[in-house]
């Protein structure tokens, strides 16, 4: 979730759908010890909290994993990359990653996950994307 202050985006919080909890991910102002990317300083506790969810034992009974968003940090083996590596090796599930269009090919090459479906928010309806994801999840784990 974006954090706004006087009409300006000043950071992002993680929102964990299953528990309803939040954790700060990054801010425009943060300690010098925090990893910086672009205008944001990334909170190590927020990165740890996000990656802690990305464990095969926590996801063993799930059919779909949604990660919003994957980007330059992950391409450079930071951000959610450690968790994504674990989940790809330890589970069989549909991955739905929100990725900028300009990074989609790089992301698909970094993690050779097989067939990739691209949904474009400017062209594809949410209903179409949801139905395709549902079909894929049912093909992996019927029922």
pLDDT at 10: 95
For helices 44-53 and 81-90, the axis angle rounded to 10 degrees is 10
pLDDT at 118: 93
Q: Hey, is 101 helix, strand or coil?
A: helix
pLDDT at 115: 84
pLDDT at 141: 59
pLDDT along the chain (143 residues), means of 10: 91 91 94 93 96 92 91 94 94 92 92 88 95 92 53
pTM: 0.85
pLDDT at 82: 95
How is residue 64 annotated by DSSP?
A: E
């Amino acid at each position: 979730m974006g954090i706004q202050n006087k009409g300006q985006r000043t950071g992002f919080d993680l929102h964990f759908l299953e528990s309803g909890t939040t954790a700060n991910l990054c801010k425009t102002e943060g300690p010098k010890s925090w990893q910086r990317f672009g205008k944001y300083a990334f909170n190590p506790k927020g990165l740890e909290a996000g990656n802690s969810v990305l464990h095969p034992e926590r996801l063993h009974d799930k059919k779909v994993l949604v990660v919003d968003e994957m980007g330059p940090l992950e391409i450079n083996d930071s951000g959610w990359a450690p968790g994504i590596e674990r989940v790809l090796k330890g589970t069989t599930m549909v991955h739905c990653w929100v990725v900028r269009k300009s990074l989609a090919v790089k992301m698909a090459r970094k993690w050779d996950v097989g067939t990739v479906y691209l949904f474009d928010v400017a062209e594809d309806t949410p209903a179409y994307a949801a139905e395709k994801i549902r079909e894929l999840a049912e093909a992996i784990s019927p029922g």
